[in-house]
Structure 1
Amino acid sequence: MKKQSLWMTIPVTTVVLLALAGCGGPDSNQPATSGQPSTTAGSEQTQAGSGDSASSNTGEQGTKTNTASNDSSASTGKDSTANPSTNESTTHSKLSDVDEVVKAVRSELKNQNVSLPTSFPLLNGQYLGAAITTNTAEASHVNFYIGDKPLALNDSSFAKSNSKIPWLASYEVNTYDNPNQTDLFPETDLQNIPKDMSVDLGHGIKGMVEGAAGSQYLTWQEGRWTLQIRSVSEDQMNNPGIAKKMVEYLESHTLPAPKDKGFVDVQYASGGKSVRVTISWQDGNRIHQLKTDQVPLDALGMVVSVK
């Protein structure tokens, strides 16, 4: 009987030891590795982009664009830079290609039929940034920027007070009941220009030179487009030289065909080192308008690329 009791004890002890050996398995409560947070550069819209001297304004075209590939992933969310009236937008991954930026803007606009510039005066190492500030079925407004690295559409850095990201251009489309009632298209009679006010701009185009209130103006027409250069009289800028470069450029590049009117307004600030170019045209009951502080040929190039 004693041997039998001893024999029954051995299995129990073995079971206990095996159970204790099983305590060395993996811990199921081990936390998962967290992902790295994304970062964005801090900067803000600058409404005064740098201009150029009178001589360089007559020759530069600046047609290079950065075409590096970008990350195609995207996420949705609210953006603090959106116009308060709409207060909504979709953020995207950082975009390093001009075509991707234009595509992202177009996909966000509520009016899917709105045309956009597709070419911008960027140098190698520069990237296009964009922020939509107005987005309704009747109106849209987009600001474009020059970045030194890729940025997301509607990146919050564009609205920061300490931003140093240069503003490149704005492009807006507005719908009007009667576009002809706007004050964007001045009435100018260039059919009979007095000889002492006439200047030959080449390709059979005559411009009219005028002076008023310390400013000098040169105005000419090409089809339905009226083009005008204004500068400060005391700067003695070569307005005809600038105009001739613009006329020559438009001989091989075509502006959008306006329904009735189009106006290219080139205004040089005192000293002639900075310029604001505003290009407006009618398209049915809509008016398109591009504004930029780039040289006139760069401004024309952006509008020529609109599609």
Structure 2
Amino acid sequence: MKKVFFTFMLLSFSIVGACSDKEEKPNVPNKPQEEEHQSHENQQESPKTNKEDTVASITQAGVLKNIKDQLKTNLPITLPKGLPITEGAFLTATTKAETNQVEIVFLESKEYLPINDIKLKQPDRATVIARLSVQQYESTDETNKQISFENFSQNGGQEVDLGFNIKGYQDAGVGSLWTGWNEGRWAVATHTRTDNPETGVKLAKQAVQFLETHMLPIPKQNGFAHLDVYESGNLIVWQDGKLVYTLDSIKNPLKALEIATAFYH
């Protein structure tokens, strides 16, 4: 601060001395060469610093607001409060909007890229986090047909303890093994192969533990989550009146749950 004040005073005195030949130039000592060099470096670095500060100020909340603005849709959709991204990465997205449907592909990039930037089509510039599609139907009755509530306790199957007083039920068929349970109006199931049954139960227990401290969005009326051990078929769908939300293109099943719980408001 002292250096800045000293420099400001020096410039002020120089301007006053140049404006009037009658006034006596103040006897100000010359700045040391090292100080002048440092001051010049600071002036060169300031544009870069300002640019970095501007980019860093683009928060997830700001990006999500921009996404909603760019959709230009009348559908009363809800977006997540945030998404899990790599530290130091930037959140961005591509968007599509039609009369009764919107699609958002959430991505992360190492550099700041605006929403719908053409560079987002290049796989080496951005990585997909999740895809969200929201479809509006003509009536809630039609919406209810899209997702029927599944009560695993009534479906039978081998009972398994998932912890936190929750019972799961295993059902096998055609090389697949499902472990399903209910949380309110949600039906949640993990998928593995019959030759690797332990991984399905392990993932189910991890999901149950996660949902003890995180809330899925409240479906009106129903919702289901399919979590895949092999990270190839994660799918989360829920109703909200005439709207049906679908989350997919998420590799990690627990990340899928984390993103879904970010829709809880």
Does the alignment reach a TM-score above 0.5?
yes
From the two aligned structures, give the one with the greater helix fraction.
Answer: 2
Computed over aligned residues only, the root mean square deviation of the Cα atoms, in angstroms, reads 2.3
CA 232–95 in structure 1, closer or farther in 2 if over 3 Å, else same: farther
Alignment of 1:42-121 (within 5 A): 70=54, 96-109=58-71, 110-111=73-74, 113-121=76-84
SS at match of 1:113: coil
CA 106–209 in structure 1, closer or farther in 2 if over 3 Å, else same: same
CA drift of 1:193 comes to 6.4
SS at match of 1:252: coil
Q: TM-score, normalised by structure 2?
A: 0.71
* Cα separation, 2, equivalents of 1:261 and 1:95: 38
Q: Which runs of 5+ in 2 are unaligned?
A: 1-51
Q: Quick one: which amino acid aligns to residue 180 of structure 1? A: N
* Cα separation, 1, equivalents of 2:232 and 2:164: 26
The Cα offsets for residues 222-253 of structure 1, whole Å up to 9 and x where unpaired, read as 00000011112234442111111111111111
Is 2:188 the counterpart of 1:188?
no
CA drift of 1:158 comes to 2.0
Pick from 81, 94, 115 the counterpart of residue 153 of structure 1: 115
Decide which moves more: 142-151 or 234-243.
234-243
In the alignment, which residue of structure 1 is the partner of 2:182?
A: 221
Aligned length: 209
* Structure number with bigger Rg: 1
**8 A contact 2:94–2:106 mirrored in 1:** yes
Is 2:199 the counterpart of 1:242?
no
Pick from 274, 278, 285 the counterpart of residue 242 of structure 2: 285
* Cα separation, 2, equivalents of 1:69 and 1:257: 38
In the alignment, which residue of structure 1 is the partner of 2:172?
A: 211
Matched-pair identity in %: 26
CA 234–144 in structure 1, closer or farther in 2 if over 3 Å, else same: same
Q: Quick one: which amino acid aligns to residue 188 of structure 1? A: E
Alignment of 1:251-290 (within 5 A): 251-268=212-229, 272=230, 274-290=231-247
Q: Which runs of 5+ in 1 are unaligned?
A: 1-67, 72-93
The Cα offsets for residues 55-78 of structure 1, whole Å up to 9 and x where unpaired, read as xxxxxxxxxxxxx8645xxxxxxx
**8 A contact 2:131–2:250 mirrored in 1:** no
Pick from 124, 133, 145 the counterpart of residue 87 of structure 2: 124
